[in-house]
Amino acid sequence: MIHNIKEEEIDNKYKVAAFYSFSPINEELIPSLLSQIRSLAQEHDLRGTIIIALEGINGTICGSNNGITAMHKQLNSLMLAPPLDIKFSFTSKQAFRRFKARRKNEIVTMGMDGINPNKFSGKYVEPKDWNAFIDDPQTLVIDTRNEYEVGIGSFQGAINPHTQSFSEFPRWVEKKLRPLLNQKHPQKIAMFCTGGIRCEKATSLLIKEGFEEIYHLHGGILNYLAEVPIDKSRWHGECFVFDHRVALDHSLSPGVHRLCFACGMPLSPEDIQKTNYLPGIQCHYCKELFSDDDRDRFRERQKYITEIKNRQPSNNNWPSA
């Protein structure tokens, strides 16, 4: 399924495609598929990451419209079932520094056996129906993303599991969600994530564990922002993305957050104004995490980045913060 935004005023801009499919991939096909993907990415100067596993494909790539179309066509030739769920957005700068295609055990790491969204997963809720669905007091809404992602934006009233990685989600379900359901007795559970892949796998987990009436936002936050007008939106803040744009606003344009180059945490304009923020060296999240030797290395790296940007102002391989 393709989720589009309006392709207005995108001359000289890069196209970003985020996609996944929980469609089984034959073990014998993976080496040749990775080789084909790498060759195609080099031919079209595509950058980003594509992950292949026995359970399917997951990726986010950035490049020209022709390049994105060529990769989409290549992946569609696999006759994936279900087909790729793909979202597009645009940016004036290349969103990634390099291209990687690799084999992994899972396309999104949960670390549990027997979780198969291709065989059992929750029911989709389309973006146009999401507001009414989560407004229902009998619906328990769960944000399946990580703590730092939730911190810069979410749907109002959504439960934050306070996880640092998706692999912590199963433990949260067992330790926290079960007692919560015994307390609240909701009729439905609705989950969401950035592009749909984590919440889809999370629904598979809950169904396997015996939970009922499980739903998830089709296409994730990115699809919701693309299809729901801002004046009708229940979304608050920005949506973190795993590339140089850092976060997107409701128009799917790069937002105001920047990354700390030391620890990788997203920083608001207010965070950057704090006295303990040193560009490329530390922020208030990591000021106690690193040694003086670490900060010396970060300082040298930052000097190099600054020199590159001064010599090549048009070079967009480096983030702007």
Q: Which DSSP string do the residues of 1-23 spell out, in sequence order?
A: -EE-----S-TT-EEEEEEEE--
Cis amide bond preceding 266, omega within 30: no
DSSP 254: B
DSSP 140: E
Cβ-contact 148, 247 below 8 angstroms = no
Catalytic status, residue 260? no
Distances (CA, A) of 203 to 123, 128, 129, 143, 168: 9, 20, 18, 12, 15
The Cα 259–Cα 279 span in angstroms is 10
Both tokens of 80, joined, read 């994936």
Cβ-contact 154, 160 below 8 angstroms = yes
Phi, psi (rounded to 5 degrees) for 73: -65, -40
Choice among 193, 239, 260, 286 that is catalytic? 193
User: Nearest to residue 25, comparing CAs of 86, 87, 106, 100?
Assistant: 106
The Cα 83–Cα 259 span in angstroms is 33
The residues carrying an active-site annotation are 193
